[in-house]
Amino acid sequence: MSTLQITDLHVSVETPEGTKQILRGVDLTISSGETHAIMGPNGSGKSTLAYSLAGHPKYTVTSGAVALDGDDVLAMTVDERAKAGLFLAMQYPVEVPGVSVSNFLRTAKTAIDGEAPKLRTWVKDVRHSMENLRMDPAFAERNVNEGFSGGEKKRHEILQMELLRPRIAILDETDSGLDVDALRIVSEGVNRAKDTTGLGVMLITHYTRILRYIEPDFVHVFVNGRIAEEGGRELAERLEAEGYDRFLASA
């Protein structure tokens, strides 16, 4: 059982116009086996939350605390956060020329576990996960995300998540750019990882379509760097019908 606890988190970023406060006091707790959907209009701070938790240097935590099973996440380096069990699936996965998918995955697994996985078992696990995600086995020998379509990049993110077995996964708009089939396959991968490992999920999205496949336990509405409202699946359905006008007006 793992718990990610975010307490009164404030985050700023430097812009040409000066320092801009993005997060203005976020309180959120995610435990193993829970799926939390983070929804809200553009510019509300959803992705800032994701990248701040992962340790992106662009974002400065000005106050607040983040703990994973009682350990201070903000005191950790980026790689220490990954080893502790935090995983970030990026909205726009980057290309890594010169590094094959197979080498990348095995190197990452070795770094997280502290020892290299047994080769025969590892190859079997990779092949099985790729089959489940409808990925051509040839992708294992291609450079990371180089020449991949949007959907292929997102499948590769979920492949990493399945194989690295984190405690908490932060999925930043994993549904963006996916067609209907890819959305279903990626969602099945998330559900499979959750069912297998008891993964806790923070799912950042604009739309409810992915929530038809990944059932949220909690829905949080982000507006102006804060959580404006919380609820269950019914809140997401209300947002789909009404949009964010009532939150923006009060903000």
- In sequence order, the 6+-apart residues with CB closer than 8 A to the CB of 147 are none
* Residue-averaged pLDDT of the chain: 93
In the numeric block, the tokens 């964010």 are attached to 244
Quickly list DSSP for 187-240: HHHHHHHHHHH--EEEEE-S-SGGGGTS--SEEEEEETTEEEEEESHHHHHHHH
pLDDT digits over 179-208, tens only? 899 999 999 999 999 999 999 999 999 888
Q: What is the DSSP letter of 32?
A: T
Percentage of residues in the chain with pLDDT exceeding 70? 99
Contact between 38 and 49 under an 8 Å Cβ cutoff? The reply is: yes
> Distance between CA atoms of 118 and 154, rounded to whole angstroms?
26
What pLDDT does 11 receive? 97
Give yes or no for residue 251 having a pLDDT over 60: no
At 50, list the tokens: 């994701």
Give the number of other Cβ atoms within 10 Å of residue 73's Cβ. 23
What's the pLDDT tens digit per position in 152-171? 999 999 999 999 999 999 99
- Lowest-confidence segment of 20-24, 97-101, 176-180 by average pLDDT: 176-180
Contacts of 191 (CB under 8 A, 6+ apart): 213, 214
Amino acid at 39: M
What pLDDT is attached to residue 213?
94
Between CA 147 and CA 152 the distance in angstroms is: 9
**Does 225 score more than 60 pLDDT?**
yes
What is the structure's pLDDT at 212?
A: 92
Look at residue 118 in the predicted model and tell me its pLDDT: 92
Sole residue written with tokens 């990371």: 144
Mean pLDDT, range 215-238, rounded to an integer: 94
Q: Do residues 63 and 12 lie in contact, with contact meaning Cβ atoms separated by under 8 Å?
A: no
**Residue ranges of E strands in the chain:** 3-15, 18-31, 35-39, 59-68, 71-72, 86-89, 96-100, 143-144, 168-172, 200-204, 218-223, 226-231
Phi, psi of 27 (to 5 degrees): -120, 120
Q: Which tokens belong to 10?
A: 């404030």
Which residue matches tokens 């699936």? 89
Amino acid type, 224: N
Distance CA 109, CA 36 (A): 26
- Work out the pLDDT band at 250, boundaries 50, 70, 90: low
- pLDDT tens-digit readout, 41-93: 888 999 999 999 999 999 999 999 999 999 999 999 999 999 999 999 988 88
- In tens, the pLDDT along 16-33 reads 888 999 999 999 999 999
Helix axes 180-197, 119-132, angle to 10 degrees: 140
Residue 234's pLDDT band (cuts 50, 70, 90): very high
127 band by pLDDT with thresholds 50, 70 and 90: very high
| pLDDT at residue 219, rounded to an integer | 97
